[in-house]
Structure 1
Amino acid sequence: MVSKASDIKSPDTEPTVRLTVAQATVRFLANQFAECDGERTRFFAGCFGIFGHGNVAGLGEALLESEIGAAPAFRYVLGRNEQAMVHTAVGYARQKDRLQTWAVTASIGPGSTNMLTGAALATINRLPVLLLPSDTFATRVSAPVLQQLEMPHDGEVTVNDAFKPLSRFFDRVWRPEQLPSALLGAMRVLTDPVETGAATIAMPQDVQAEAFDWPESLFAERTWHVARPLPEQSVISRATEIIRSARRPLIVAGGGLIYSHATDALVRFVEQTGIPVAETQAGKGSLPYDHPQSVGAIGSTGTTAANALASEADVVIGIGTRYSDFTTASRTAFNNPDVKFVNINVASFDSVKQGGLSVVADAREALDALSNALEGYSTSDEYRTRATELARRWDDTVSAAYRVDDDGSALNQNQVIGLTNALSDPHDVVVCAAGSMPGDLHKLWRTRDRKGYHVEYGYSCMGYEVAGGIGVKMAAPDRDVFVMVGDGSYLMMATELVTAVQEGVKVIVVLVQNHGFASIGSLSESLGSQRFGTAYRYRDDAGHLAGPKLPVDLAANAASLGAEVIRVTTAAEFADAVKVAKANEHTTVIHVETDPLITAPDSESWWDVPVSQVSALESTRSAYQKYAEWKKVQRPLLGPAE
């Protein structure tokens, strides 16, 4: 029995290395790896950053040391906008199926809080990114410092506390001793498919520069295993019973299916069973568009084929979906009063939605287990024929929307999408995020590759497109990346074209000039608000924004940022421009004006956006009557208890 500390035998002292907190952070991050299915990859590709007084002498100095030869090297990329840097990291992480990402650092105050939107986007989309915002002095020796928030009731509150509700992990390193636990905690979350999102470690500017003797083991290579949770056999048995009872089953494929590399397993499953597959925005690419079991996009921005089958489905098998309001058409899509749900998801939080059977498991493992359990089961020939016919009709609708008259007339957005789709290679990637194009792409784009479609629609963040496209291209240098962006979203964050030029990252930007917000304009009109405040126009004599169009030259703007710009009007000019852009080794912007009043084919679905219950405007009163009719169809969608 040990009676006093002096009786304890001291272990051999571990060698240490003296580094600043910032230097230790960079060295640690450079040695983190992720492993899935036996494939090991370096988890961080590097660090995006903008330096100011909060991090220039801390993380800035540490990244400089790494850049000029300290081992292991940790790549640094200068961004132009802090929010955009996070978007680029997220685009990279999604293209890499969440197995790799970037760290992002910004200076104290506005630099760091500019990352808040990016943090929200990453967490909502369940995509890993490490944020390293600078913070105020831990010692408070100079308080209040420039850009410090002072709260009379709490001396520890800083602006970085705003990251807490937006992050899946948050810590603040007040002392060097706290760094290891903060870094390990962040890595745990970043590499967990269930928990992943934004991980934020706030770093006071004085602590960043403080030296400490670190154990060498902190910097040893660490490999984080990305697990594939297996389904419980009893749950698979119950799921099998439910599916075998179905006459009109439907699969809703979400992003989790693609992240788990389950597309081949899905092909085997649906070819065995004949069950048709509808896709969410994140799940688009789960099947090639022309696969016999593919019925395309589902929900508010879906196809008439998928939505018709959804309204009749007696069993809905959700795989890796979080059932957003667009997917469920604001809970009007699944109208069979006896519909049952089987939800396959690694996250129990999502698997219990709609009140269905919860199958908490990796998508690939669950599909393989169900394939074995459902041997001999198949949908009827009649149902297969109906699904195929509905899909064929929608494909004819897409072809009609894509059709271009050979008369040299100006293009509309449907035709621009169709031309881009036809002129891009199957291996290429289309990127979009906000405005009318995400919905149009969801229902119209003919996806041919599981990673060929990248629309950020969890947060639908204006300005994501160019920044996210850069991340996609950095993650997939062998693919051409087509960034589809409207003028409203382009104006939010065009500056990242400079980053693309600086880093030699080639993206092809299709810039659609609508002279305003096409999506919100259309939505406003449907809600009786007459496209108010959605056009880029001068004020008229009455003081309303209804005068002539503003003389905004976005093509000239893009050229001023270093991109090659090609102005096009006709289909022939557009085709020539794409050929030039694909042959180029640098970023090219194809500028085309379209008519925002020509919309995509109707999905025959709904999205719940409340309309004013009383109004002096006849247009609003009429819109409210339609809204009230849809509300009658809306239902809780709580399936029978299993």
Structure 2
Amino acid sequence: MTRMTVAQALVEFLAHQWTVDGDVRERTIPGVIGIFGHGNVAGLGEALLASNRRDPDELPYLQARTEQAMVHQAVGYARMRRRRATFACAASVGPGSSNMLTGAALATANRLPALLLPSDTFATRVADPVLQQLELPHDPSVQVTDAFRPLSRFFDRVERPEQLFSIALGAMRVLTDPADTGAVTIALPEDVQAESIDVPDEFLADREWHVRRPLPEPGPLARAVAAIRGARRPLIVAGGGVLYSGAEDALRTLAEATGIPVSTTQAGGGSILWDHPAAVGGVGATGSTAANRLAADADVIIGIGTRYSDFTTASRTAFRHPGVAFVNVNVAPIDAYKHGTNLPLVADARTAVEALTRDLAGYRVEAAYAERIAAEKREWDATVDAAFAPSHRDRPAQSEIIGAVHAASDPRDVVVQAAGSLPGDLQRLWRVRDALGYHVEYAFSCMGYEIAGGLGVRRAAPDRDVIVMVGDGSYLMLHTELVTAVAEGLKLVVVLVQNQGFASIGNLSESVGAQRFGTRYRRYDPAARDFQRGDVLPVDLAANARSYGVDVIEIAPGPDAIDDLRRAVEAAKASDRTTLIHVESDPLLPGPDGEGWWDVPMAEVSDLDTVRTARAVYEEERRAQRPLLG
């Protein structure tokens, strides 16, 4: 037994947790990212200081500039480590803790682990109400941290020191469970953090958490194999579960053995490399024509590690064959049973794909289908080539910018993105050359994720260049983690695409007849009472980045902008410092269309002709939607 405070015991406990995945063993929590205030400075703050003085490598402390960004770093790190490791994120009472709510939602939506340690007000209520307490008259027990309950895969509050042991172990179970993982929240009242307790030695000893890799059951496997053998036009939809289970090699073997084409979701980007003959690109609302045309005619969809978001299914219009069947391989039952399938395969992606490859021996798609796959792929590859070609406009299209960045990047570089128009263009256009080279957070699509998430990627993979692509709208929401990059010497290459507004929502607004209302960054027009026609704002984002100590390269508008951008990316990669490249684009120049659709309901009645026209188109397009069966 050792007499310790609750915070000291938690810090010591976290330092001794290990994730084991086959032959890989690594620390589950390699560090704590924290911002201190009343509520945790005397608890976790003291414990982390003592740990640092005792052994700086025991549980390193890292700084951040906003609490939301701490969680984004943890998520970026977790994805890059294939969910085997993540950071703990510590915040103070009240707004410090509530600032992590967005990060919690993002982690859970993406099924990526993050350990959140928000502080709570006094458990004893000896001082009540305290600074930043909610004080709800109908329920005095409700605190800010209760807001984490619906956003977390695990939530508990240490109201007495003795509860720490079971709570900490329960939290680790969920963090390392491939089916249940997401945001894991342990709320820590400020007085309980500093209280002492006798801690058993076994609680502080090294503990291993072995990642479950369940095998497919024989019956469901046999039914899945029979369905695939009977298919004439099967299509694989590869999601993030392929990467988290390390199944990309097994998937490639399956595709080569059977000839079944492989499409990818945003999270599944990298499951198969772009130039493989079976790779047909992203599927769904922001997918390629190759994947979407094959999806429309597919009679069997083999979903592997995908949660079938509305973008993946093109709002349930992508899979149009009247008798289409879904073979859903997923470690999480909620995803395996989607689309009302009677062919779920609840299993780890790698073990299931290996079993499918074995039991499908001798099966091969028909020659005519193989020829069609190759033709669709050639057509889409030519479309991407054309989209990348410089137009020599003063302000290039975003597709040209992506092409220039791709040309200057190396195969193992990691492109990071999350929100705006860039995720769609990247899924269609970015040619992924490494399994972990594509990192687009698109379950929550959180504006502001990019720079913070990029730092998490860099921490997880210090031997790779991390290229953060971000629009001006998303940059303005969370750019302060550039200070973290400078403080720690964590090199990022940030490509800031300046288009003076919200390009993605501007395009969407136009498509629903709303005429880009409220999507431009302009001076307020007091006569019209809008922001549509005023002067462009005199905001200098390059100067903002420069003020943080970041190296900045500004690409001047002109016919050589794309060539200048390519050279700038090469220079940034050659540097050992964080570099931001500022380039202006024309938001009215769209990228190529992948023939996907996204359901955005619009007004049934309106005074605006543009809305009435858009509504008529909407009614026609949604005729292709499948009924929601599961």
The TM-score normalised by the length of structure 2 is: 0.98
Give the equivalent residue in structure 2 for 1:240: 225
Q: Is the 8 A contact 2:259 2:370 kept in 1?
A: yes
Match of 1:565 among 544, 549, 552: 552
Aligned 1:89-238 pairs, distance under 5 A = 89-238=74-223
Does the CA contact (< 8 Å) of 2:329 and 2:349 recur in 1? Answer: yes
Q: Look up the match of 1:498.
A: 483
- The alpha-carbon deviation at position 235 of structure 1 amounts to 1.3
State yes or no: 1:361 paired with 2:347: yes
Q: Could you give the per-residue CA deviations for residues 238-266 of structure 1, whole angstroms, max 9, x where no partner exists?
A: 11110010000000000001110000000
State the Cα deviation string for residues 472-529 of structure 1 (Å, max 9, x = none): 0100000000000000000000000001111111110000001000000000000000
Deviates more, 1:513-522 or 1:577-586: 577-586
Give distance in 2, aligned partners of 1:491 and 1:638: 40
Unpaired segments ≥5 residues, structure 1: 1-15
Asked if 2 retains the 8 angstrom alpha-carbon contact of 1:27 and 1:72, the reply is no
Contact 1:408 1:571 (8 Å CA) reproduced: no
Q: 2:56 and 2:539 mapped to 1: Cα distance?
A: 48
In the alignment, the residues of structure 1 paired with residue 393 and residue 177 of structure 2 have an alpha-carbon distance, to the nearest angstrom, of: 52
In the aligned structure 2, how far is the partner of 1:33 from the partner of 1:136? Answer: 31
Provide the rounded CA distance (Å) in 2 between the counterparts of 1:50 and 1:343.
42
Residue 542 of structure 1 and its aligned partner are, at CA, apart by: 2.9
Cα displacement (A) at 1:382: 1.1
How far does residue 576 in structure 1 lie from its aligned partner after superposition?
A: 2.0
Equivalent-residue separation in structure 2 for 1:526 and 1:71 (angstroms)? 54
- Residue of structure 2 in register with 1:486 after alignment: 471
In structure 1, the residue matched to 2:620 is: 629
Let me know the Cα RMSD of the aligned residues.
1.1
1:138-537 matches, within 5 Å, as 138-356=123-341, 357-405=343-391, 407=392, 409-537=394-522
1:16-35 superposed matches below 5 A: 16-35=1-20
Mapping 1:604-623, distance limit 5 Å: 604-623=595-614
Q: Which has the larger radius of gyration?
A: 1
Stretch deviating more after TM superposition (478-487 or 578-587): 578-587
**Residue aligned with 1:101, SS:** coil
Aligned length: 623
Contact persistence 2:518–2:530 (CA under 8 A): no
> Are 2:417 and 2:450, in contact at CA under 8 Å, matched by a contact in 1?
yes
Cα deviation, residue 72, structure 1: 6.2
User: Hey, what's the Cα distance between the residues in 2 that align with 1:71 and 1:121?
Assistant: 30
SS class of match (2:470):
strand
| Alpha-carbon distance between aligned partners in 1 of 2:621 and 2:394, rounded to the nearest angstrom | 38
Q: CA deviation at 1:409?
A: 3.7
Q: Distance in 2 between matches of 1:588 and 1:464?
A: 18
Residue 153 of structure 1, CA deviation: 2.5
SS of 1:202 mapped into structure 2 = strand
Aligned-pair CA distance for 1:70: 4.2
Question: Are the aligned partners of 1:30 and 1:72 in contact in 2 as well (CA < 8 Å)?
Answer: no
CA distances 1:344-363 after superposition (whole Å, capped 9, x unpaired): 00011100001221100011
- For 1:204 and 1:33, the matched residues in 2 are separated by 27
Q: Residue 574 of structure 2 corresponds to which residue in structure 1?
A: 583
Q: Is the 8 A contact 2:34 2:62 kept in 1?
A: yes
Amino acid at match of 1:324: S
Kept after mapping to 2: 8 A contact 1:26/1:62: yes
Amino acid at match of 2:208: T
Q: What secondary structure does 1:44 align onto?
A: coil
Q: Which amino acid aligns with 1:76?
A: Y
Q: After superposition, give the CA deviation of every residue in 1:321-356 in whole Å (9 maximum; x if it has no partner).
A: 000000000000011001011000001110000122
Letter in 1 for 2:571: V
Query: Aligned-pair distance for 1:62?
Result: 0.6
Question: When the two structures are superposed, what TM-score results if normalisation uses the length of structure 1?
Answer: 0.96
Give the superposition deviation at 1:79: 0.5
Q: Secondary structure of the equivalent of 1:68?
A: helix
SS in 1 for 2:570: helix
Indicate the SS of the match to 1:212. Answer: strand
* Matched letter for residue 597 of structure 1: L
Instruction: State the distance in 1 between where 2:594 and 2:395 align.
Output: 25
**1:59 corresponds to which residue?**
44
Which segment drifts farther, 378-387 or 630-639? 630-639
> Aligned partners of 2:609 and 2:8: how far apart in 1?
64
Establish whether residue 574 from structure 1 lines up as the match of residue 565 from structure 2: yes
1:563–1:389 Cα change, 3 Å: same
Residue identity opposite 1:268 in structure 2: T
Q: Distance in 1 between matches of 2:35 and 2:566?
A: 38
**Distance of 2:411 and 2:45 partners within structure 1:** 40
Q: Deviations over 1:110-161 (max 9, x none)?
A: 0000000000000010000100000000111111100011122222111110
The correspondence for 1:592, drawn from 583, 586, 589, is 583
TM-superposed CA distance for 1:71, in Å, is 7.6
Distance in 2 (CA, whole Å) between partners of 1:553 and 1:362 is 48
AA of the residue aligned to 2:583? V
Question: Which amino acid in structure 1 is aligned with residue 545 of structure 2?
Answer: A
